[in-house]
Amino acid sequence: MSTVIKKSALVDESVWLALSLDLDQRGEEAYRFLTAATGKVDLYVTAACLQDVWNDLCHVLRHVVVKEGGVIDDRIEALIASIAWDSVAFVRDVAMVVAAGPVEAERAEALRDLQADYREALLVATAEACKANCIVTFEDSLQDCLPIRCLTPLDAVRAFGL
């Protein structure tokens, strides 16, 4: 009897933001991975990541408006919030939202010698809990010394044979 290993990945904030903000080639790479993986790979996102995506998008969009000489009035603020909400809705449509609880928090503490950043250790612990094969990320700090494989979106396309 053969065992089928499910293809699954926890996708971190850097990938969702690259997709939303089209940051250089990263936006294209994020798009290629998510297009290829949707429906073929079980994709996960942390609930905290959704909050971070919303906050970061609002921050970046406000910065762009001000940099271009605009004024943040109620109308612009509503537009920025609408864009951020639409981005979060898209992420929820593509990936299953998973939460970190006390078990993951305890596991993150156990990872402190491998990963000094608590937030990243919690991400790893959550990926382990949802039995993700890897974390898909652009964050270099997640690439080293972790008990779960971390891949760029392009490397994930190759690893999953997409």
Residues 31 and 115 sit within 8 Å (Cβ to Cβ): no
Residues 6+ apart with CB under 8 A from 45: 10, 11, 16, 91, 92, 95, 96, 97, 98
| CATH architecture entry for 8-48+96-159 | 3-Layer(aba) Sandwich (3.40)
pLDDT (tens digit per residue) in 53-83: 999 999 999 999 999 999 999 999 999 999 9
Beta bridge partners of 97: 45
- Rounded-to-10 torsion of CA 131, 90, 31, 64: -120
Indicate the pTM of the whole model.
Answer: 0.86
pLDDT band at 117 (very low <50, low <70, confident <90, very high): confident
Mean pLDDT of 40-65: 94
CB contact set of 72 (below 8 Å; sequence gap of 6+): 62, 65, 66, 80
The rounded distance, in Å, linking the Cα atoms of 53 and 26 is 16
In the numeric block, which tokens belong to residue 34? 């998510």
